[in-house]
Chain A
Amino acid sequence: MRPGGQLLLEFRNVHTHYGSLHVLKGVSYEIHEGEIVSLLGGNASGKSTTMKTVLGLVRPTEGTVSFRGEPIHALRTSEIVKRGIAPVPEGRRVFPRMTILENLEMGRYTRRTEPGGDEELERVFSLFPVLRERRHQLAGTMSGGEQQMLAIGRALMTRPALLCMDEPSMGLAPRLVEEVFDIIRAINEQGTTIFVIEQNVNMALSIAHRGYVLQMGEVVLNGTAQELLENPLIQKAYLGGT
């Protein structure tokens, strides 16, 4: 997919607080249609707060978050999701005592009255054959990798414009991580813009077009994936050093 299209999601000088703790300190990101953008950073850098802010689970104390030019930071989560942003939450958060099919149905909740649900289901099943096989199985009984597939599939059910993924590699064996990232790239090639929050720098930058590096709530580096990979400061941002 050719990146560099229209501006889809924009953070402008966003600050957030957690009680008296200043978490995000004036961060700005731009995500254009068709791109894969990766948000990187160590722990306590503000990555998951970013995701929560996109989804409206955390409200910025300053700054704006816009989607297709319209501010969304004051909207409820259900409104935000309706506009075309779908989340793949950290830790998957599948509904454990519902079947795969039911989970996918929940993914389509905001478009439940519109036709086309069966097509989307087919699309997801072709991306993840294992889900088709196990479609009547309870989600809680699946392995971590399978749950990750389900979480991604669930998010795709509304054919979102923007997919927000929070730490897709967490808790997965390395081989599975590669598989997941291959799938992410495939989804992007089919037209979905993707915002990936990830701790695993190498994996993330191997599929992303651009990236931002967060450290202690501030963006310290940004650029194309290539630029970032070659930048020695990345190591410093993660490990600290002289």
Chain B
Amino acid sequence: MTVRALADRWRGLTVARRRQILAPVLLGVGILFPLVTSNAGNVDAAANAFTYVLLALGLNIVVGFAGLLDLGYAAFFAIGAYGYGIAASGQLRPEWSNLWAPLEWAGQVSRLAMPGQPATVQFHFSFWPMLAVSAIICAIFGMLFGAPTLRLRGDYLAIVTLGFGEIVPVVARNWEGLTNGAQGLGGIRTPKLFGFDFGFSPYPYYFLGLALAAVGVWISIRLQESRVGRAWMAIREDELAAGAMGVNHVHYKLLAFAMGAAVGGLGGTFYVAKLTTATPDMFTFPVSVMVLVMVVLGGLGSIRGVVLAALFVAFLQSVILQDLTQYVHVLGRVVGSPFLQRVELITSLELIFGLILVLMMIFRREGLWPAVRRVSALTREQQAAAPARGAAVKLSWAHPPVAGGSAHPLLQLERLSKQFGGLSAASDINLTVHAGELVSIIGPNGSGKTTLFNLITGLIRPDAGNIRFDGQDIAGRPSHEIVAHGVARTFQNIRLFNNLSVLENLLVGEHVRLEASVLGAIFRPPRVRAEERRAASSALEVLEIFGNRLLPRLDHPVYGLSYANRRRTEIARAIMTRPKLLLLDEPAAGMNPVETLELMDLIKALRDLGITVILIEHKLDVVMDVSDRVVVLDHGVKIAEGAPAQVRSDERVIEAYLGRRRRTA
């Protein structure tokens, strides 16, 4: 079979299938490598490389998935390292008390009694539980360091993390009692497994490192393709829109910091167990930058990219630069240049890092091996079998209102007011919307329509007044909570998650209706798998509403879609939250008359399914046709309300749009 045919065959496989093939192959290569190479130095270098892989994977979670630029990542490396180092060396010698007895029984500490001195505790915690403990301690620190950054913008966030990244080695250097200061910890015990001591041979560390790296990759992949990962990527792409789709940014940002820190801590514990020493200089800012270089080089968010880049950087350091130096020395002898004969390329490692950062940012921001666009589980047949336009709109979870039943008030705005720097955006607004209605809000530019939406959905807090939804007071609540109650919206200037596909955007919409947590995401118990399947079929159901517009583009990143399709995707995403109330902000903007009619039919159909809709629009003829009721705003004040025909001929409305007639000629 030719190479070309093999490549085609490969491309035709689904991602799951590719993984089924690649995983055992890669693992096999990994396991065989030390058996095949005769040079123990290579094995040692490879074992160290696995530390880099873990660090890169950890930072990839924070920066790549969640978009939080952490410039002090080495802090977690340090905490994981020192955590194990202190627990497994003779550094701390507290006085013995019987509180330590259970740990002594478990073999983690010993009682050391020297003649003439009070008894002290000798620490020799076992490596394996310390792996878990390290990860947990680092996760806690991750949240601690991340908490102050929650409301900061990107560059300030980076600086604060840089600050913490600096404080940790300074503390390590100066808190001599805990860390032995600049000299560092020594005599850290090596791991033991069933009586076998890892000692100083690189081989057991290699296999341990391989296992840890494999686990790291597995966790990353699982997280990326879960509800948690989608929430992170939504925050990265557009935090505001993520909140409007129900993602709690505080929760998920802290989670990203925690997970990233935990993986970094694993790397630290492993590294220090192998090295048996830990000094503050191992965790300075250049180390954080090195990990950043790995992630930038590989591709932010790309798991395979950061792994490859981590291996590359590790080998650059341990092997490649050494070899290159030899060649340069030879060249120097040939050319007769003493400078070339003396140069040690390893000292230019950081220079190379700097060059990589600058060149990557200018020329290839997505990295060398960006994340592969995932082919979804839909076959071509399923995609093609999409109903044509005009198909009936049906949603399995929507309940059409009972005929003849009285409509209860769903949304109540009472005396709602909001000022922006002296200008009144909303002035004493009173409005009641009943379940099953389709209400349109119209008004000239700057009349406060979008402000009203922002107030209802929690993006801004009112200065005065109440907002009640389904009997609950929602004024001033955070947007993700309001979504959970059943209010969804679209934005005037379209806020999609640009680098995510259509399907991924929709799945974020499902966020509040799903439950998987981090553990669920990683381990995928049957409950979670069922949930994901349901979510995917919900998404397909919603996409079918749009006929064959969006289904063929399921996996396309939305930044490449046409304007009209981007609008449709945003509406679909909002519908995914299963709202009782749907707020659409100028959904037909940018659409031609035919597309607009199609959209209006859809909105009517949604209303018929029992979803209450509030529409902001400028194309008044369109609004007149679909609305049960029209509300007119001008300068933040409600100036008219009623049936469409009635409003359209209202003098005040005409004047609001065209402007008051001049009093002087």
Question: Measuring CB to CB, which residues of chain A are less than 8 angstroms from any residue of chain B?
Answer: 19-21, 42-44, 144, 167, 169-171, 174, 178, 199-204, 206, 234-235, 238-242
Contact with A along B416-458 (1 / 0, CB 8 A): 0000000100000000000000000000111000000000000
When C-beta atoms are compared, the residue in chain B nearest to A170 turns out to be B446
Interface CB pairs A-B, < 8 A, 12:
A42-B444, A43-B618, A44-B586, A171-B446, A174-B660, A200-B658, A202-B658, A234-B658, A238-B620, A238-B658, A240-B622, A240-B623
CB contacts (< 8 Å) of A19 on chain B: these are 563
Asked if B170 is at the interface (CB within 8 A of a chain A CB), the reply is no
Query: Once the chains bind, are B660 and A202 in contact (CB under 8 Å)?
Result: yes
Among B446, B618, B659, the residue within 8 A (CB) of A203 is: B659
Which residues does chain B contribute within 8 Å of A241, judged by CB atoms?
620-621, 624, 648
Contact present for B657 and A238 (CB under 8 Å): yes
* Count of B interface residues, CB-CB < 8 Å: 28
Q: How far is the CB of A111 from chain B (nearest CB, A)?
A: 33
Identify the interface centre among B620, B659, B660: most chain A CB within 10 Å of its CB.
B659
Known: A20-B563, A241-B648. A201 touches B658 (CB 8 A): yes
Is there a chain A Cβ closer than 8 Å to B27's Cβ?
Answer: no
Q: Is B590 an interface residue (CB 8 A)?
A: yes
Contacts of B586 in A (CB 8 A): 44
Asked if B659 and A240 sit within 8 Å, CB to CB, the answer is: no
Of the candidates A43, A144, A203, the one having the most CB atoms from chain B within 10 angstroms of its own CB is A43
Contact B624 A240 (CB under 8 A): yes
Residue of A nearest to B423 (CB): A171
Q: Counting CB contacts under 8 A, is B408 at the interface?
A: no
**Other CB < 8 Å A-B pairs besides A42-B445, A44-B618, A239-B657, 8 of them?**
A43-B445, A44-B589, A44-B590, A178-B662, A200-B660, A202-B658, A239-B620, A239-B653
Chain B 642-665 interface mask (CB, 8 Å, partner A; 1/0): 000000100001100111111111
Chain A hits for B654, CB < 8 A: 235, 239
Q: Which 4 A-B pairs have the closest CB atoms?
A: A200-B659, A240-B621, A240-B620, A201-B658
Alpha-carbon distance A84/B478, docked complex (angstroms): 50
Hey, which chain B residues are within 8 Å of A44, CB to CB?
586, 589-590, 618
Interface flag for B619 (CB, 8 Å): yes
- Hey, which chain B residues are within 8 Å of A238, CB to CB? 620, 657-658
| CB–CB A202/B620 < 8 A | no
Complex-state Cα separation, A234 to B657, whole angstroms: 11
Within the assembled complex, what's the spacing in Å between the Cα atoms of A191 and B283?
71
Question: Is B117 part of the contact surface with A, judged by Cβ < 8 Å?
Answer: no
Nearest residue in B to A242 (C-beta to C-beta)? B621
Q: How far does the alpha carbon of A241 sit from the alpha carbon of B442 in the complex, in Å?
A: 14
Chain A contacts of B661 at CB under 8 A? 202
Q: Min CB distance, B175 to chain A, in Å?
A: 45
Distance, CA A234 to CA B619, complexed state (A): 14
> Given A178-B664, A239-B654, A241-B621, are A199 and B648 neighbors across the interface (CB < 8 Å)?
no
Given A234-B658, A235-B658, A238-B658, A42-B618 contact (CB < 8 Å): yes
When the two chains form the complex, which single residue of B590, B624, B658, B665 contacts A21, counting CB atoms closer than 8 Å? B590
Measured in the bound complex, the distance between the Cα atoms of B657 and A203 in whole Å is 12
Given A43-B444, A178-B664, A239-B620, also A202-B648 (CB < 8 A): no
Structural contact, A239 and B563, CB atoms closer than 8 A: no
Structural contact, B660 and A170, CB atoms closer than 8 A: no
B592 to chain A, nearest CB (A): 9
Closest A residue by C-beta to B623: A240
Chain A residues with Cβ below 8 Å from B589 are 44
Residues of chain B within 8 A of A242, CB atoms compared: 621
Give the interface centre of B619, B623, B653 by most chain A CB atoms within 10 Å: B619
A21 touches B563 (CB 8 A): yes
Assuming the A-B contacts A19-B563, A21-B563, are A202 and B662 also in contact, with contact meaning beta carbons closer than 8 angstroms in the complex?
yes
| B396 interface residue per 8 A CB criterion | no
Which of A19, A200, A234, A239 has the most chain B CB within a 10 Å cutoff? Answer: A239
Q: Which residues of B contact A21 (CB under 8 A)?
A: 563, 590
Q: Which residues on B sit within 8 Å (CB–CB) of A144? A: 423
- CB of A144, distance to nearest CB on chain B (Å): 8
Give chain A residues whose Cβ lies under 8 Å from the Cβ of B406: none
CB of B562 within 8 A of chain A? Answer: yes
Determine the residue in chain B with the shortest Cβ distance to A204.
B659
Q: What's the Cα separation between A8 and B657 when bound, in Å? A: 30
Chain A residue numbers with a CB within 8 Å of B563 are 19-21
A178: B residues at CB distance < 8 A: 662-664
**How far, in whole Å, are A44 and B586 apart by their CA atoms in the complex?**
10
Tell me how far the C-beta of B474 lies from the nearest C-beta in chain A, rounded to whole angstroms: 28
A20-B563, A21-B563 given; A199·B445 CB < 8 A: yes
Complex interface bits, B617-640 against A, C-beta within 8 A gives 1, otherwise 0: 011111110000000000000000
Whether A203 lies near B662 (C-beta < 8 A) is yes
- Contact (Cβ within 8 A) A202 B659: yes
